[in-house]
Structure 1
Amino acid sequence: MTTERSSLLTRPGAVDGDGVDAGVAAHYGDPLREQRLLSEGLAVVDLSHRGVVTVTGPDRLSWLHSITTQQLTALAPRVSAESLVLTPKGHIEHSLHLVDDGVATWITTEPGDAPALVRWLDSMRFMLRVEVSDVTADWAVLGEPSGQESQPGEPLAWRDPWPGLVGDTAAYGPVEGHPATNRAWRELLVPRPELAAAVGERDLAGTWASEALRVAAWRPRFGFETDHRTIPHEVDWLRTAVHLHKGCYRGQETVARVHNLGRPPRRLVFLHLDGSGHTLPGAGEAVMLGDRQVGQLTSVARHHVDGPIALALVKRNTPVDAALAIGGISAAQDEVVAP
């Protein structure tokens, strides 16, 4: 993982994040105000710790199509797509935010994941006309609350399709009434030396703000809502990242088998946490039903309207109306993935 600190950490009030989000600001002194500004479309988020990978060459889209979960062969320039790399057993191994500019396919990844992704992609090139490069040192990501694809003359951007159903896919959570129906989010790609100029006069919000809005949107994040055995169905990730009839790719057999014949062993839930205390549980803590562990907390945030909220993976047969507890803190669940 890169240890480079963002140049925006010199801004007044900036507090460095920790864990995977170290190197960019968690907040700039008032995280709830930043969250409100972000939700109103009035702020941007420094995501310059994300990895950036390019794939060039005439075979790039057909090649990426053949080894990942999404339909990519006819991807038009400046049209965004989301795809996953799965293990042979169908477990999520990488999450790819893709947009093509007509010459190269640009991919942003979770912080620290670009080197591993590049190694894997290089191992899959064989004789195809593609070149893979880790350009994280030269390019930075800036998150902004916009639902528009980038236009010629603007910085290239990846628009988040969540929670729409993309292509021939399926939803494991609600289609109507999804809390993220009106969510707008995209990632701008800017030369790293021009990051401050790209922010301009706009307000900055930290990752605490963007994470709270992500959790409220039930949006899975690789490395948070996933572990070494997560399959896309468990976190409702088919809806934006998996095409069900696109041909063979690694892990496809598991995707098809679970979709057609079975049910995922775990399911994502959204939790309303009791906020009467001063502390909140942390990601990774056990989710309890009585004296029995039924799952694990994956993301925790303080929302400017809903208060303490979280996402968790629980066993599929956990009753949807059960009162749960994490570290002695009670939690009421909303069904994200149906049991």
Structure 2
Amino acid sequence: MPSSLSLIRLPALSIVDLVGADATAILHNLTTNDVKKLTNDSQPRLGLETFVTNVRGKCLGHVVVFAIENGYRMIGAPGVVATADNSGSTRQSQAIAEHADRYTIREDATPVIRDEELAAWMVIDGDDEPCQTTPPPSMTTQDDIDSYQLPWVKSGTLFLLPVETVADHPSLIAKRLGMEPESLTTADESDFHSHRVAAGFPWYGIDLTDAHLPQEADRETQTISFTKGCYLGQETVARLDALGQVQKKLVRWKLSELSAGTGPAADDKLSAVDAGEGAKPVGRITSVGRIDDQGEGLAMGYARRSHFEAGAKLAGNVGEVAYTAEVLPPVLGETPE
């Protein structure tokens, strides 16, 4: 295995299992992608990225779905969602579970929240460029550790293990990879988010909320099937596809001309280049990646329609330092059938 492998402990994720004889029908009716294509025949498991939409077509959840015995597992960020009566907020997993319950009448489908039962670890290969869809060559399959391939980073594997054995997890994961524990470099959550920004993956609760429409995340090719049939919120999603009229879109920016090692923060605003003082912002940063010693780096955020095409340049400031943010081409994925 390459020496660039790093091990990162993530905070408790949103993990919901939907189980029962009718789990496929219920999940099909609540998600934008064609979950019927999933099969439980690979290790580590390969998933399908999808949005969970409400009746208005807004993003109640953003998860990767995996087939499991007697149902499906939905894994996503530990983001929060506004409660149905707008009296507060709740965790993404809770919102999805309540949503599934609300639309299950006589069907056999039960949502089970697993957030607090499973500890989440990412093993990331910092040298690999393409989004990885197969396990590392030396990964063994002779044990029962749950591992998953997700598009969260360019190349990495998620491991979920019981929280009660957390002290043993690094050695168990190293064994799963055919390595010695000391061969894995320990990193922190900020490193994970730097890799995530490089891969262009939005984190629910940070880059994406229940106020957004699916197309605003600019991941149609990865998340939306326009041939799967009816689902909750489909009318809004289909109308936006036909009209092509989202007014803002999540983009990645290449940042340049910053001071070495310093960068913007979440919620900083960007303006059109050469815009006069007091001009209305046309971009808002939601996540910032690593900034190198040359003052270059990456960020994600929302750009207005006038400035969300690849190559569009915006301007920002960190203190007295002016910098440029150039929109990068989107990270492409497979188009759902």
TM tier, smaller: 0.7 to 0.9
Q: Please, which of 27, 52, 63 is the counterpart of residue 26 of structure 2?
A: 63
- Supply the distance in 2 between the matched residues of 1:100 and 1:278 (Cα, whole angstroms): 42
User: Partner residue of 1:292?
Assistant: 280
CA shift, 1:136, in A, is 1.7
- One-letter code aligned to 1:159: Q
Q: Please, which of 313, 318, 321 is the counterpart of residue 322 of structure 1?
A: 313
- Supply the distance in 1 between the matched residues of 2:155 and 2:292 (Cα, whole angstroms): 18
Q: Give the secondary-structure state (helix, strand or coil) at the position aligned to 1:187.
A: strand
Alpha carbons 1:66, 1:248 under 8 Å: kept:
yes
- Supply the distance in 2 between the matched residues of 1:128 and 1:274 (Cα, whole angstroms): 57
Q: Give the secondary-structure state (helix, strand or coil) at the position aligned to 1:208.
A: helix
- One-letter code aligned to 1:293: P
Q: Give the secondary-structure state (helix, strand or coil) at the position aligned to 1:254.
A: helix
Q: Give the secondary-structure state (helix, strand or coil) at the position aligned to 1:197.
A: helix
Moved more, 153-162 or 280-289: 153-162
Superposition TM-score, scaled by structure 1 size: 0.74
Moved more, 302-311 or 207-216: 302-311
Residue identity (%): 22
Distance 1:323 1:219, change over 3 A: same
Number of matched pairs: 282
Moved more, 68-77 or 322-331: 322-331
Q: Please, which of 115, 118, 122 is the counterpart of residue 94 of structure 2?
A: 115
Distance 1:301 1:185, change over 3 A: same
Q: Please, which of 73, 84, 94 is the counterpart of residue 61 of structure 2?
A: 94
- One-letter code aligned to 2:145: P
User: Partner residue of 2:290?
Assistant: 302
CA shift, 1:315, in A, is 0.5
Alpha carbons 2:60, 2:96 under 8 Å: kept:
no
CA shift, 1:237, in A, is 1.6
Distance 1:336 1:100, change over 3 A: same
1:75 aligns with 2:38: yes
User: Partner residue of 1:4?
Assistant: none
1:143 aligns with 2:122: yes
Alpha carbons 2:26, 2:100 under 8 Å: kept:
no
Q: Give the secondary-structure state (helix, strand or coil) at the position aligned to 1:293.
A: coil
CA shift, 1:54, in A, is 1.5
Aligned 1:125-144 pairs, distance under 5 A = 125-144=104-123
- One-letter code aligned to 1:315: R
Q: Please, which of 220, 228, 239 is the counterpart of residue 238 of structure 1?
A: 220
Distance 1:42 1:185, change over 3 A: closer
Alpha carbons 2:257, 2:324 under 8 Å: kept:
yes
User: Partner residue of 1:7?
Assistant: none
1:332 aligns with 2:325: yes
User: Partner residue of 1:52?
Assistant: 15
- Supply the distance in 2 between the matched residues of 1:282 and 1:133 (Cα, whole angstroms): 36
Distance 1:119 1:204, change over 3 A: same
Distance 1:331 1:49, change over 3 A: farther
- Supply the distance in 2 between the matched residues of 1:132 and 1:68 (Cα, whole angstroms): 15
Superposition TM-score, scaled by structure 2 size: 0.74
Alpha carbons 2:17, 2:71 under 8 Å: kept:
yes
Alpha carbons 1:101, 1:156 under 8 Å: kept:
no
CA shift, 1:321, in A, is 3.4
Per-residue CA deviation, residues 32-65 of structure 1 (Å, 9 max, x unaligned), is xxxxx9x965112112421222221111122111
Distance 1:72 1:139, change over 3 A: same
CA shift, 1:71, in A, is 0.8
1:268 aligns with 2:250: yes
- One-letter code aligned to 2:228: K
User: Partner residue of 1:313?
Assistant: 302
- Supply the distance in 1 between the matched residues of 2:306 and 2:249 (Cα, whole angstroms): 9
Q: Give the secondary-structure state (helix, strand or coil) at the position aligned to 1:245.
A: coil
Distance 1:40 1:87, change over 3 A: farther
- One-letter code aligned to 2:303: V
CA shift, 1:186, in A, is 3.0
Moved more, 317-326 or 259-268: 317-326
- Supply the distance in 1 between the matched residues of 2:323 and 2:192 (Cα, whole angstroms): 24
Distance 1:275 1:47, change over 3 A: same
Alpha carbons 2:315, 2:324 under 8 Å: kept:
yes
